Amino acid sequence: MSEPAHLAQTQHAYDTVARSFAALLPGLEAETALDVAVLGDFARRCRTADLGPVADVGCGAGRVSAHLAAAGLDVTGYDLSPGMVRVAREDHPGLRFEVAALHALPVADAALGDLLAWYSLIHTPPAELAGAADEFARVSAPGAFLLTAFQAGGGERVERSHGYGHEVGFTDHRHDPEHLAEALTGAGFEVLVRLHRAAEGRERTPQHLLLASRRPR
């Protein structure tokens, strides 16, 4: 699938499910206690470093953006789906949300203090992870933290024909943690923590969380 095609598919899918997604997942109900603890550690690191605003890239309906804002961070959410951004603005009127693709963020070089990509790289083909990592590095200030989480695998592509109560197509990728870590390292990040856990609850796939820091330019 070409880049424009997969972006169009992802945007259409999330535009379609936006309101249902927000109703099903208003907060961090889907996260494990460990996931929530990692988000808390990320927020603490961001507050301590105090390097600037935080981007929630692939923010969806804004549930994690709201969680980070409640933890004291200056957060802006970015999402490819105008439908998701519209719902995020409705549900979280005190926060900022913008429509943007993760590989083309409307942010000046080194303007971000920190960046979260919470399950937002799962629709990016493995061959495009290096480009996404380069964009994350471009917008991140030296020392900025990056936290990402994703379903782990060996680079497999998974097609879904429904989600969140709708018949709509999604293309997911089970990223190889080593591949993504190498992409981030190559872009200028230092990987600080890699946490791999087994599937829990309704999950069917192992999960991986990766914390990195932007090296000085």
Domains annotated on the chain, with CATH: 3-214 (3.40.50.150)
Please, which residues bridge with residue 157 across strands?
173
Flag residues of the chain having pLDDT under 70.
1-4
pLDDT of residue 166: 81
**What is the enclosing helix (H) or strand (E) of 7?**
helix 3-24
- Please state the length of the chain: 217
Strand partners, 211: 147, 193
Distance CA 8, CA 1 (A): 11
**Confidence (pLDDT) at 143:** 98
pTM of the model: 0.95
What's the confidence (pLDDT) of residue 2? 42
List CB contacts of 155: < 8 A, sequence separation 6 or more.
126, 173, 174, 175, 176, 179
